[in-house]
Amino acid sequence: MSSAKTKPAPKSRPVEFALAPVDNALLANLCGPLDENIRQIETGFDVLIRRRNERLSITGEKAQLTADALRHFYAMAREPLSVDEIQLGLIEFLNAPVRRISRAAEGPVDGPQLVTRKTELHGRTPRQVEYLKHIQEHDITFGIGPAGTGKTYLAVASAVDAFERDLVERIILTRPAVEAGERLGFLPGDLTQKIDPYLRPLYDALYDLMGADRVAKLYEKRAIEIAPLAFMRGRTLNHAFIILDEAQNTTPEQMKMFLTRIGIGAKAVVTGDITQIDLPKGHKSGLKEAIDVLRDVRGIAFTHFKKEDVVRHPLVARIVDAYEKRQQSA
């Protein structure tokens, strides 16, 4: 009895189309220098794009979605499109392809609009929009998920927004200073200088959203405070927007201490990734315990981000996915 040969799976046909109306200036603005934007779109959708002037051929599982995205970017290319705009636009297409936000569009986009130096700042994915709404509507919000999902950046943006609207008098940002392979004792400088590298991501977000000069002036006036979690003990924080970052590296005692610092007119956001705990072996994460203990407490909101919410380089989501698959198979 002869065995039938298995036929190879048919390759998907390429999607072919032409950008219209034909406009060389729009085409140049879309493609970017040396077709850099096209390469970013290829990476984001995991497709192959062949271009001959305004005619394009796309091969891959997301070929049709890529074609829609290219038409969308072409329509908004009255000015040169930056790599940042391309990458952020890809996030929106991958998460909500039928709800596209153009920088040329007028009127409000879905979700809260934040008052910061970045006028177009808004949630790029449904969970980011939910997160921003939770922060505005609750006194305590937890943002939990993998790196690159905007947990810290959107929390700092919400703090800046509240400060600019005079809803709070101070912004307080804090992190636990837990060694992740390094030892504090071997770092140069005094205690403040030793812990500064752990707080640098918070400075970077503030500089981006307010400008370095303004942050420096507000820091001198103590309207902005950035300090390690240990410095919060014994304080009552009134009329402040408080952010605890990298909360997966708190102990249960530290988490309880932080949450009980919140005073009158204060709002708190706790962010962390429970897959990246740097505590010594045998120590329980305060963030993991808080998720269990506080899940049913009224007035506290939780947003759980996923790899689909990653808003960094398009490859970051795939890196997160690859590590998740390895952990599941181990």
Average confidence (pLDDT) over 199-212: 89
pLDDT score, position 117? 83
Task: Please say if the pLDDT value at position 100 is more than 80.
Answer: no
In a domain, residue 26? The reply is yes
> Which residues have a Cβ under 8 Å from the Cβ of 318 and sit 6 or more positions away?
none
- Examine the domain organization and report whether 282 and 172 are in the same domain: yes
Average confidence (pLDDT) over 54-65: 91
Total domains, the chain: 2
- Examine the domain organization and report whether 325 and 179 are in the same domain: yes
Distance (Å, whole) CA 321 – CA 230: 34
In a domain, residue 3? The reply is no
Distance (Å, whole) CA 201 – CA 174: 11
CATH code of the domain containing 65: 3.30.1370.10
- Examine the domain organization and report whether 194 and 283 are in the same domain: yes
Residue 178 near residue 249, CB atoms below 8 Å: yes
In a domain, residue 145? The reply is yes
Tokens 């989501």 belong to residue? 317
* pLDDT tens for each residue of 128-187: 999 999 999 999 999 999 888 889 999 999 999 999 999 999 999 998 875 444 444 544
Domain that holds residue 243: 126-329
Average confidence (pLDDT) over 192-204: 74
pTM: 0.71
Point out the domain boundary residue: 54, 76, 95: 95
In a domain, residue 49? The reply is yes
Positive or negative, the Cα torsion across 132, 173, 152, 113?
A: positive
In a domain, residue 42? The reply is yes
